[in-house]
Structure 1
Amino acid sequence: MIRIDQIWLSVEPVDMRCGVDRLLARVIEVFGRSQPHHAYVFANRRGSRLKVLVCDGFGVWLAVRRLHQGSMHWPSHADKHMPITPEQAQALVIGLPWQRLAQFDRIDTI
C-alpha cells in the first residue's frame, strides 16, 4: 500500500511525455522539494490525462490516468500549486467537478 499524507496539484500543464525524472525536477521547481508520502498531480493542456508522482521515502511511484471522453476539471488560479483532499482527488480522477466538494463531503462509488 502506498501511503499518501498530502495531495498537491501543479496547476500549470505538463507535457505527458515526461517521465519520473522530469516530473521530479518539476516538483522541485514548483514545490521547492519533494516530501515523503506526498502525491503531486500533473495534467496535460487538454485535461484528458493525469500523472501522479508519489515520493515514499524509498523511491518514487508514477501513476497515469487517461479519460477516454471529456476532461478533468482543472483549476486556473494564479498560484502554481494547491492542496486538495482525498475526496477531491477521487472526484478529479473520474472527471467530476471536484472544486464543489466541501471538505467533509464524500463520493460513494456504485
Structure 2
Amino acid sequence: MIRVDAIWLATEPMDMRAGTETALARVIAVFGAAQPHCAYLFTNRRANRMKVLVHDGFGICVALKAPATLASVGL
C-alpha cells in the first residue's frame, strides 16, 4: 500500500499527454524536489481529467483519471 501524508494541487492546468518526466519536472520546478509520501494532483484545462503523481519514498507512480464515457470507447 502506498502511504500518502500530503496532497498538493497544481494551480495551473497541465497537458494530459505529458508523461511522468514532465509531471515530475513541474513538481521539481515548484517545490525543488518530489517529497516522499506526497501526492501531486494536476488537471487539464477543462478540469475533466486528473493526473496524480505519487512519490512513495522509492520511486514515482503516475495515475490518470478520465470520465467513464471516454474509457468505455477506448480513449
For 1:5, the equivalent position in structure 2 comes to 5
Q: Percent identity at matched positions?
A: 58
What is the RMSD computed on CA atoms of the aligned residues? 1.2
Structure 1: distance between partners of 2:16 and 2:7: 19
Q: Between 26-35 and 13-22, report the one with greater CA deviation.
A: 26-35
For 1:39, the equivalent position in structure 2 comes to 39
SS state of the match for residue 54, structure 1?
strand
1:66 aligns with 2:46: no
Which is greater in Rg?
1
For 1:24, the equivalent position in structure 2 comes to 24
Deviating 4+ runs (over 3 angstroms): none
Alignment of structure 1 residues 28-107 onto 2, 5 Å: 28-68=28-68
Contact 1:8 1:38 in 2 (8 A): yes
Structure 2: distance between partners of 1:63 and 1:27: 15
Q: Between 1-10 and 25-34, report the one with greater CA deviation.
A: 25-34
With normalisation by structure 2, the TM-score equals 0.86
Q: Deviations over 1:56-88 (max 9, x none)?
A: 11110111101257xxxxxxxxxxxxxxxxxxx
Contact 1:10 1:30 in 2 (8 A): no
Q: Deviations over 1:18-57 (max 9, x none)?
A: 1111100000112221100000000000001000000011
Amino acid at match of 2:11: V
5+ unaligned residues in a row in structure 2: which ranges?
70-75
